[in-house]
Chains A and B, each alone.
Chain A
Amino acid sequence: MVSDTTAAEIERRRAEEAEAESADIDRTPVRTYWQLVRQRFLQHRLAVIAVIVLVILASYAIIVPTVTGDAWRTTQLFRDDAPPEVFAEDGEFTFAILGYNEYGQNLFARLGKATQTSLTIGLAAVIIIVVIGVFVGSIAGYVGGWVDNVLMRFVDIMLSLPGLFIILMITAFFGQGNVWVVVFAIGLTGWTTAARLVRAEFLSLREVDYVQAARALGASPQRIMLRHMLPPAMAPIVVAATLGIADSVVVESALSFLGFGIGRDSASLGTMLQNARDYFFSGPLKVVYPGVILILIVLSASFLGDGLRDALDPRQRVEK
């Protein structure tokens, strides 16, 4: 048993130690992990610009098709290749600031719709990729042993198959032209990389002391995975996901360009590029517009990925 004097002595000494130790910390404001993440992200100039670009593109993709309604697909023969305008001759608000294509479709509206389609496909496909990838990867990494081996050999098999070919088969088989078929085709073929990333993270995290400490405290596997392993593993996943958006948008464009993606009754960056192909010399701008949007999406997504990777890494110091 501890006598009273000892207890008082210990108390006094602890208080003294605490006081001696706290000087340096007290000068800095309390910052949570996420505040630090935000600070680090904001230091990454290109990533911030990328976010702004993506926000502009997303607003464009949401607002313009809403405002212009069906204009993106309404063919107006008398307006084929008509020059840019904001109001039609009859005073109607057309918002055709990029002019019209050979079918008399409002290019600005059509580009908005195409951006919307491509971004939707990109996001939706990435969600599928991340969900399947995290699920498979975390089980393989946490459980290990033969489960890991079986899952990873399956991943190897998936990776050895030519992706675009599989996607083409799926879209050809399940209904060409449907946005969701394209999304699933991309998602089902694309999760393998994410699964590998998550598995690798989980395998190394399993041995990290704080995960071991949580096990020693009696935390359940679910809690350990969700609280201690998934958050740090999310950093590479988020990076992979942002890059995955870019990838998916490109794959969709390629599909549509080949005629296996979104049908002619819809619009995507790929279909617009394909349509414009025939007018490459007479109307090069028709290629440039969707091309620029495609490049902007891909670049912004990868810069965003870079910024997030640095921001989510707790080892990175915050600079003022």
Chain B
Amino acid sequence: MTARHVGPLLEIKGIKTHFFTQDGVVKAVDDVTFEIGHGQTLGVVGESGCGKSITSLSVMRLIERPGKIVAGEIRLNGENLLDKTDADMRDIRGDQVSMIFQEPMTSLNPVFTCGDQIAEAVQQHTAVSRREAMDRAVEMLRVVGIPDPKRRAAEHPHQLSGGMRQRVMIAMALSTDPDLLIADEPTTALDVTIQAQILEVMRDLREKNRMAIMLITHDLGVVAEMADEVVVMYAGKVVERADVRTVFGSPHHPYTQGLLLSIPRLDERRERLEVIKGTVPSPLNLPEGCLFKRRCPHRMRVCDTAPPYQEVGSGHFSRCWLTPAGEAPDVGADAEGEEAQHAAEQLTVGAR
């Protein structure tokens, strides 16, 4: 954690977002807690279906039926967003919190010019004339590195390339100077060279505006480059959380370890990749106890009881039975029932 941490910008406390489908309740986000400080970048990592996108949509209060935020608090600058009216939320969205999505084409209106759309966003949140708003739009396009911004402002989204569109999205998201930018897989649909451009733009703007970023991605490389702190999610839960160096340097949770070992790296030649065996469990058929146990190389009997969310190092949390040194817990590898539950409660400290 960094020194700037005075009172966190965004505090998410134990939110649960469940989807009530006809097949049963899907606990897409299940008791997720983390915070983001002013000007900080938090990387939220996980595979598809881990709940990282639903977490971000929950912050924006954009969960639609059959989904519902059933518990928890989402505090932005100390105010609980879950208590806000829909009208208040509309003001907050785009003003204090902005969001950019993976596929910019679907989030831009094809019938308006890019300039119009940014200007509209500006006018919605600040009392300026159309003209001033348009000037601001052109200025924002310049800031995100679009050459010839005046001409581009008069163009429609389909006239732009994918990378350009994503820049327009970022320009729109930043036009109101938000405190927090939620970026949901902002570069996944882009080529690497374009991704590099976009990440550069985001890094630049983060410095200039002292803006916090919640960066949701499956790409560990992007996280390593961008994030200060990292949250690893698996099957709706946070399984590990620490600053970026700790997560990449000495991960504690077997899932995080597995993920890091399974990616092919440019700078080394590996004969075989390590793999995490099996697949993500179906959200309708989650295992008892630890959600990762079926795929875990360290599986013990005690894993049938929900593991503690323990602090394994300073500011380093992990939802696993293993001790910080990676050994079986004090209660014993075969502990069961109440004994194990009690041990889990004892070990879970400070996290909530």
Residues of A within 8 A of B (CB): 16-17, 20-21, 23-24, 27, 319-320
Residues of chain B within 8 A of A320, CB atoms compared: 22-23
* A–B complex contacts, Cβ < 8 Å, 18 sampled: A16-B277, A17-B277, A17-B278, A20-B277, A20-B278, A20-B294, A20-B295, A21-B278, A21-B279, A23-B278, A23-B294, A24-B279, A24-B281, A24-B282, A24-B285, A319-B21, A319-B23, A320-B23
Cα distance A166–B106 in the bound complex, in angstroms: 44
Which B residues touch A24, using CB under 8 A? 279, 281-282, 285
Cα-based distance from A21 to B277 in the complex (angstroms): 8
Ranked 8 nearest A-B pairs via Cβ: A20-B278, A319-B22, A20-B277, A24-B282, A21-B278, A21-B279, A320-B23, A320-B22
Contacts of A20 in B (CB 8 A): 277-279, 294-295
What's the least CB distance linking B194 to chain A, in Å?
25
The answer to whether B277 touches A27, judged by C-beta atoms less than 8 angstroms apart, is: no
- Nearest chain A residue, comparing its CB with the CB of B295: A20
Main secondary structure of the interface of B (DSSP, over half): loop
| Residues on B with beta carbons closer than 8 Å to the beta carbon of A23 | 278, 294
A27 to chain B, nearest CB (A): 7
A320 to B23, CA, bound (A): 6
Chain A residues near B279 (CB, 8 Å)? 20-21, 24
CA–CA, A94 to B277, complex, Å?
76
How far apart are B105's CB and chain A's nearest CB, in angstroms? 19
Q: Report the minimal beta-carbon distance from A68 to chain B, rounded to whole angstroms.
A: 47
- Residues in A with CB closer than 8 Å to B21 are 319
Q: How far is the CB of B235 from chain A (nearest CB, A)?
A: 13
Q: How far is the CA of A319 from the CA of B285 in the complex (A)?
A: 15
CB within 8 Å of A: which of B292-318?
Answer: 294-295
Complex Cα spacing A320 to B284, Å: 13
Q: When chains A and B are docked, how far (Å) is the Cα of A27 from the Cα of B285?
A: 10
Complex formed: what's the CA distance from A271 to B178 in Å?
A: 71
Residues of B within 8 A of A21 (CB): 278-279
Q: Inside 8 A of B277's CB, which chain A residues have their CB?
A: 16-17, 20
How long is the Cα–Cα vector from A27 to B22 in the complex, in angstroms? 18
Cα distance A21–B22 in the bound complex, in angstroms: 25
Interface centre among A21, A23, A320 (most CB of B within 10 A): A23
CB distance from B325 to the nearest CB of A (A): 28
- Near A by CB (< 8 A), chain B positions 253-290 give 277-279, 281-282, 285
User: Using an 8 Å CB-CB cutoff, how does the interface string of B4-26 with A read, 1 for contact, 0 for none?
Assistant: 00000000000000000111000
A21 to B276, CA, bound (A): 11
In the assembled complex, the CB of B75 is this many whole angstroms from the nearest CB of chain A, namely 36
> Which residues of A lie under 8 Å from residue B23 when comparing CB positions?
319-320
**A296 to B248 CA separation, bound complex (whole angstroms):** 67
A residues near B281, Cβ cutoff 8 Å: 24
Q: Which residues of B contact A319 (CB under 8 A)?
A: 21-23
Q: Which positions 168-186 of chain B face chain A at CB distance < 8 Å? A: none
Q: Please, how many angstroms separate the alpha-carbon atoms of A16 and B277 in the complex?
A: 9
Question: What distance in Å separates the Cβ of B13 from its nearest Cβ neighbour in chain A?
Answer: 32
Residues of B within 8 A of A16 (CB): 277
Within the complex, the shortest CB–CB distance from A255 to chain B, in Å, comes to: 44
Which residues on A sit within 8 Å (CB–CB) of B278? Answer: 17, 20-21, 23
A181 to B18, CA, bound (A): 60
Task: Tell me which residues from 58 to 117 in chain B have a Cβ below 8 Å from any Cβ of chain A.
Answer: none
B279 CB to closest chain A CB (Å) equals 6
With the chains together, A24 CA to B278 CA distance in Å? 10
Residue of A nearest to B21 (CB): A319
Which B residues are in CB contact (< 8 Å) with A17? Answer: 277-278
A20 to B294, CA, bound (A): 8
Residue on A nearest B287 in the bound complex, by CB: A23
Q: How far is the CB of B271 from chain A (nearest CB, A)?
A: 13
Q: In the complex, what residue of chain B is closest to A24 when comparing beta carbons? A: B282
- Given A20-B295, A24-B279, list of 13 further CB < 8 A pairs? A16-B277, A20-B277, A20-B279, A21-B278, A21-B279, A24-B281, A24-B282, A24-B285, A27-B285, A319-B21, A319-B22, A319-B23, A320-B23
